[in-house]
Chain A
Amino acid sequence: MVSDTSTSLRRTPLYDEHVAAGAKLVDFAGWEMPIQYAGIREEHNAVRNSVGIFDVSHMGQVETAGPQALERLQRLTSNDVSKLPEGGAQYSLLCNDFGGVLDDLFTYRLSGTRFLTVTNASNHEQDLAWMQHHGSEFDADVNDRHADFAMLAVQGPSARALVEQLADGHLPPRFHICQRTVAGVPMLVCGTGYTGEDGVELLLAPEHAAPVWQALVAAGAQPIGLGARDTLRLEACFHLYGNDLSEQWDPISAGLGWACKEETGFIGSDVIAAVRGVGPERKLVPFVIDGPGIARQGNQVVGGGEVTSGSFSPCLERGIGMAYLPPDTTEPGTRFQIDVRGTLRDAVVERKPLYRKDS
């Protein structure tokens, strides 16, 4: 059952829009967020086939700025920040001293000496404190910018065309950003997303969020809740912090070695280099259920391992998920069994992503 919401929850600047659109609201990381509007399947298909709009204003922003901003972020985050061009976007992990994952992040390079990092809502305060505490030897400041931004994601095959018709110029390509005016409002447009579809994310002043949302909905974007956001990202095999990532797991085990450049000397890099060298004890892989049933987070794998994300795939119309498995059982096509509340369900290791446009 959906948990009740209470008045102590935080609300985004789009709360009234969600209520007006008939959203079901739930507690998500302390925020009163829409889990669905028309229904998860319909919303999921809207993003796969046309265009949807998500309120992701619960996500946090941290700015790192100063002469040594790059050096400070290089120490804090796992990817090679020196490879991040001005106007670029980069995925990375924030790790602890033991290589455990504190959060997964997107960092945008606003200028030579200014970077904006997007955090997960559930981790924002902890990330901010960590980033302010570590790397203080560098000449750069780390500041909370969450209150300065609302964040919208517009995703789907028609997303770019829809946003562009309201914009004062071309939109940035994938993994790039630029300043634009959209629906009369200045904002940072980012060629990023979490659905496996083309699209953009918009960072703008909170007071402009409602009119921009209304303009995009009027232009044809369908409101999408967190329920479909989860099924979309899982079909695309994007990690969800708190499910597939936690301090318990290192990036190599999680299949995120590509986002770790140990030679940069980031916090946790020595442990991660060691794991990369000897190989992880578990590896995160996507799977599909062969037959009926839906595995869920926490279900145990027969022979060792655990499901960290599990749901129903609206596109594949069967149970899908991601699981940490022993490394000798992670080849695509390998069959295994999952204990789903006492019933053993057959599953097959798949390649990423689980859903592809032409599949």
Chain B
Amino acid sequence: MAQASYPADLKYHAEHDWARIEGDEATFGITWYAQDSLGEIVFFDAPAVGTVVTKDEQYTEVESVKAVSDVVAPLSGEIIAINQELSSSPESVNEDPYGAGWLVKVKLSDPSEVDSLMDASTYEASLS
């Protein structure tokens, strides 16, 4: 998508990741700002289902034509699903970062961590 957007129903991490919270599960992705900075994503090195991720630590990487970038977990938990579609269409991360461009789903180990994330307006303000 061409225009910056930060949906209000998501939570945001300072390392430019988002989390969509659904009970004790969450979907992770990278924000509009992150994909715009990186440029066209050409490769998502998907972690394995079952991988334990830790809030604030790198859990995977995405690559654009020109660079590789670490992706940090906004929350802790265990990966229960990965976006298989990205292996054939990694450009979805650019075209639809909050929809078809999601990266992984995680079973949260400590849902209270959500309180430390930013809401959309706070995150957007942090970018300027």
Which residues from chain A sit less than 8 Å from chain B, CB to CB? 1-2, 24, 35-36, 39-41, 227, 230-231, 292-294, 296, 311-312, 314, 319, 341, 343
Contact = CB atoms under 8 A, between A and B. Distances in A.
B63 A36 contact: no
B36 to A, nearest CB: 9
Given A294-B42, A341-B68, 15 more contacts: A1-B67, A1-B69, A24-B39, A39-B39, A39-B40, A40-B64, A40-B65, A40-B66, A227-B66, A231-B65, A293-B45, A294-B43, A296-B67, A312-B43, A312-B65
B63 A312 contact: yes
B94 to A, nearest CB: 9
Residues of A contacting B: mostly: mixed
Given A40-B39, A294-B42, A314 B65 contact: yes
A41 B91 CA distance: 11
B118 interface: no
Q: How large is the interface on B (under 10, 10 to 19, 20 to 34, 35 or more residues)?
A: 10 to 19
A40 B45 contact: no
Nearest to A314: B65
B65 A227 contact: yes
Contacts of B39: 24, 36, 39-40, 227
Contact of B37 (A2, A39, A296, A312): A2
Contacts of A24: 39
A311 B66 CA distance: 6
B21 interface: no
Contacts, number: 45
Contacts of A231: 65
A150 B40 CA distance: 30
Interface string B38-55: 111011010000000000
A39 B64 CA distance: 11
A314 B61 CA distance: 20
Contacts of A293: 43, 45
A231 B45 CA distance: 21
A311 B43 contact: no
Contacts of B66: 35, 40, 227, 230, 311
Contacts of A227: 39, 65-66
Contact of A1 (B37, B40, B65, B87): B37
Given A292-B45, A294-B43, A41 B65 contact: yes
Which 5 interchain pairs have the tightest Cβ spacing?
A40-B65, A312-B42, A312-B65, A1-B37, A227-B66
Contacts of A341: 61, 68
